[in-house]
Amino acid sequence: MYIPCKIIVKILMNNKGGDFIVKKTDYNTVFVPEEWNEEQKMLKQMIFDFLDQEIHSLESEHQAAKDLPEIIAILEKAAQLGLCGVAIEQKFGGSDLDFNTGLLYMEAFAYGFSFATTIGTHVSIGSLPIVYYGNEYQKEKYLPRIATAEIKTAYALTEPSAGSDANSGRTKATLNKEKNCYLLNGQKMWISNAGFADLFIVFAKIGDDDKLSAFIVEKEFGGITLGEEEKKLGIKGSSTRQVFFEDCPVPLENLLGNRNDGFKIALNILNSGRIKLSAAALGGAKFAMRKAVSYANERKQFGKSIGEFTAMQFKIGEMARKIFTAESAIYRTGRNIDKKELELKENAVPSNKIKLKALRDYTVECSLMKVYASEVLDYCVDESLQIHGGM
């Protein structure tokens, strides 16, 4: 693939990743799955065992429209195993996994179908804004209860008129007459976990500001109403609703980060979310392939299993090839981020900035992985369906 020199120069000058385009790779630094240690393998197996018991033992998958109590109960059980504080510092009750292990965590949870979205939202975009941008008061107040799932989280950015162009959002925050809190007014849509979330990370513009600010909003503050569960084609076990704010009072101390920093916070959190979604897509692709191989070995036609026919072998081979390349690229990027964190720590970069800077340095790779792994998942699911008889 030809990449214009101007694009390469722009990427490298912005210091946001893409070094792999122009720099020679030291193969000794590339991660391979065989390097997972016993603790990491145990984490993956524990997640598989948990999902077998809580999800795969059911006759059918939960439906968010009618099974919210059951979905909440599974999230709380996950928290009891320490699975809801994986990105939270130990002093706040979490385990603070390194980045590559966090990707393995997301890959494993893909085995949980819709529940992967539920717990993924809680441990990632729903809580990372506080992990990365919260002050000590905010961290002490919220993170321990997020780690135990006493507080369930959601991330409220998208609006009817503001999707990819997030900064065009119309939700407003104005000071009340007493000037001791903000009043939020506006509408958010496609909000995962909205049906049961106790805490929302909400993006809004203060007064006449042109830029977004971010807020930690508890449902108990009042002034929040929810739409009905969205009727989706898939992930029906994940709650997705509209959220309406009408004079929702938010204490001044619940402003997250600095005023007008909301867009920066949103983009940095989504950057982390992109590569984590790629790991989840990888897990889904592996699941689809396992199902395809199992069925191809069981299904008999013309006196032999259909897996012995060249057409089926080609489909499975292509699935394996795509999965292998996605896995290699995802975990190579994860290791690079971990290495960057160590480098920044050795250079005395403040601890609250290390993770964000390491992620920013691999923005290009995170975006590439999100696109490519999603395409691999789409391909593998479709081919698995064809092997099962097509549709």
Q: DSSP alpha helices (H): ranges in the chain?
A: 5-13, 38-51, 68-80, 99-109, 114-123, 128-133, 136-147, 262-298, 310-346, 351-360, 363-387
Q: Are residues 107 and 177 in the same domain?
A: no
Residue 374, both tokens: 């999603």
Question: Per the structure block, which two tokens stand in for 241?
Answer: 């609703």
- Please answer whether residues 329 and 322 qualify as being in contact, where contact means their C-beta atoms are separated by less than 8 angstroms: no
Domain identity same for 115 and 180: no
Give the mean pLDDT of 135-164.
96
Residues 70 and 166 in one domain: no
**pLDDT average, residue stretch 203-221:** 97
Instruction: Mark whether 370 and 291 lie in a shared domain.
Output: yes
Domain membership of residue 17 (yes or no) is no
Number of domains in the chain: 3
Asked whether residue 294 falls in the same domain as residue 227, the answer is no
DSSP 52: I
Q: What number is the average pLDDT over the span 194-215?
A: 97
Percentage of the chain lying above the pLDDT 90 cut: 85
For residue 215, the cross-strand partners are 202, 255
Q: Which residues contact 26 (CB under 8 A, 6 or more apart)?
A: none
Position 294 in a domain: yes
Average pLDDT over every residue of 59-80: 95
Asked if residue 280 has pLDDT above 60, the reply is yes
Q: Are residues 279 and 383 in the same domain?
A: yes
Name the domain boundary from 244, 261, 278: 261
* pTM: predicted TM-score of the whole model, two decimal places: 0.92
Per-residue pLDDT band at 1 (split at 50, 70, 90): very low
Q: For residue 264, is pLDDT > 50? A: yes
261, 279, 308 — which closes off a domain?
261
Which pLDDT value is given to residue 26? 76
Pair 268, 383 in one domain: yes
Instruction: Answer yes or no: do 249 and 284 share one domain.
Output: no
Q: Could you tell me the pLDDT band of residue 391, with boundaries at 50, 70 and 90? A: low
CATH number at residue 232: 2.40.110.10
Last residue of a domain, one of 210, 233, 261: 261
Q: Rounded distance, CA 144 to CA 133, Å?
A: 16
Strands, E assignment, the chain: 153-156, 172-175, 181-192, 199-206, 213-218, 224-226, 240-251, 255-256, 300-301, 304-305
Question: pLDDT per residue over 289-312, tens digit each?
Answer: 999 999 999 999 999 999 999 999
Label residue 196 by pLDDT band (50, 70, 90): very high
339 shares a domain with 268: yes
With respect to residue 4, please indicate whether it lies within any of the assigned structural domains.
Answer: no
pLDDT for 32 beyond 90: no
With respect to residue 3, please indicate whether it lies within any of the assigned structural domains. no
Residues 49 and 90 in one domain: yes
**Residue 253 and residue 268 in one domain:** no
- The answer on 331 and 224 residing in a single domain is no
Inter-helix orientation angle 68-80/114-123, to 10°: 60
Domain that holds residue 134: 33-147
Q: Is residue 28 part of a domain?
A: no
Q: CATH number, domain at 272?
A: 1.20.140.10
Q: List Cα–Cα distances, 285 to 51, 98, 113, 221, 382, in angstroms.
A: 17, 24, 12, 41, 10
CA 52 to chain CA centroid, Å, is 21
Which CATH number characterizes residue 114's domain? 1.10.540.10
